[in-house]
Amino acid sequence: MKVGYLGPRGTFTEQAVLKISDISETIPFKTIWEVINSVNIGKTDKCVVPIENSTEGCINITVDSMIFDTDLFIQGQINLPIEQNMIINKAAENNEIKKIFSHPQGLAQCRQFLQKNYPNAETINVNSTADGGKIIKSSNEPCAAIGLCSIAELYDLKILHKGIQDNNQNFTQFAVLSKNDTTKSLDSQKISIAFSTNNSPGMLCKILNLFEIWNLNMTKIISRPMRNKSGEYVFFADLETNNSPVDIKNCLSMVKRKTSFFKNLGSYPVYDYR
């Protein structure tokens, strides 16, 4: 089983991949879109991508690719605690840190810490937390990267502060995606669906009422702009499935009838490592 993930080595997604059994090969890709597309075009059998961070929210590109670009299904969700660390290069050991590199998510998750402790340092977006380590390693300026401690090992750098994320309960949900249709497995913990109403007032409310009628608990709702239709939204929702398979089936078929767009993204278990 070939598994694609958001690389390079040393990222949080790589940690999530290590939780999956039955892997023959792991293949890192540079962007989330390339990871997801690798399954679509048969380069990999499965992939692992971040879908939501507890502090920063939805990872838009993951959700959009699932809704608009591919017909993949969620096989499972992996929740990992995210500890962000400040890693410094040689020059920063005795000098004031001038620049701090990380993925935009890494910088966002430590924003309050950075504002308080490094108000004068410039924060710089890079493609991954691991890339930050690579960049500061080759720099003569005093700079820092934010990410996993393993980045320090990987590039022989020093860890200055551990656990600098603003929220101590910071965690990320990763989704395992493949072409295997999981929509029929109605005895799993969670269902994800995407739907769009035809933008008439009160329609969203009517759909949520359907979940109420069949007693399905909606645990998340995210609105995303409908591609190429400005002002219209697609909703991405998670439902808890303590109900009978018949109720779930009836509810979803009613939701499908009452929406202008409907996609069942799969029914799947949650693996919580917090």
Residue from 2, 33, 43, 161 touching a second copy (CB under 8 A): that is: 33
Q: Is 68 helix (H, G, I), strand (E, B) or coil?
A: helix
Residues in region 78-107 near a second copy by CB under 8 A: 103-104
Asked if 244 is part of the footprint of a second copy (rule: CB under 8 A), the reply reads no
Residue from 54, 70, 139, 188 touching a second copy (CB under 8 A): that is: 54
The shares of helix, strand and coil residues in the chain, as percent rounded to the nearest 5, are: 30, 35, 35
* Contact string 163-202 vs a second copy (x = CB under 8 A): ----x-x-x-----------------------------xx
Please enumerate in sequence order all residues whose Cβ is within 8 A of that of 193, keeping only pairs 6 or more positions apart, or say none.
236, 237, 239, 252, 255, 262, 263, 264, 265
State the number of binding residues for a second copy (CB under 8 A): 48
Asked if 61 is part of the footprint of a second copy (rule: CB under 8 A), the reply reads yes
Asked if 41 is part of the footprint of a second copy (rule: CB under 8 A), the reply reads no
Residue from 115, 180, 198, 244 touching a second copy (CB under 8 A): that is: 115
Asked if 40 is part of the footprint of a second copy (rule: CB under 8 A), the reply reads no
In total, the chain counts a number of residues equal to 274
Residue from 1, 9, 23, 31 touching a second copy (CB under 8 A): that is: 31
Asked if 261 is part of the footprint of a second copy (rule: CB under 8 A), the reply reads no
Element (DSSP H or E) covering residue 136: helix 129-137
Q: Which residues pair with 133 in a beta bridge?
A: none
Asked if 231 is part of the footprint of a second copy (rule: CB under 8 A), the reply reads yes
Element (DSSP H or E) covering residue 100: strand 99-102
The interaxial angle of helices 245-258 and 203-213, nearest 10 deg, is 170
Could you give the strand order of the β-sheet that contains 261-268, starting from the edge strand earlier in sequence? 217-225, 233-240, 190-196, 261-268
Q: Which residues pair with 47 in a beta bridge?
A: 4, 177
Chain residues in the site for a second copy (CB under 8 A) = 30-31, 33, 52-57, 60-61, 103-104, 108, 111, 115, 122-127, 167, 169, 171, 201-202, 204-205, 208-209, 211-212, 215, 217-225, 227-228, 230-231, 233
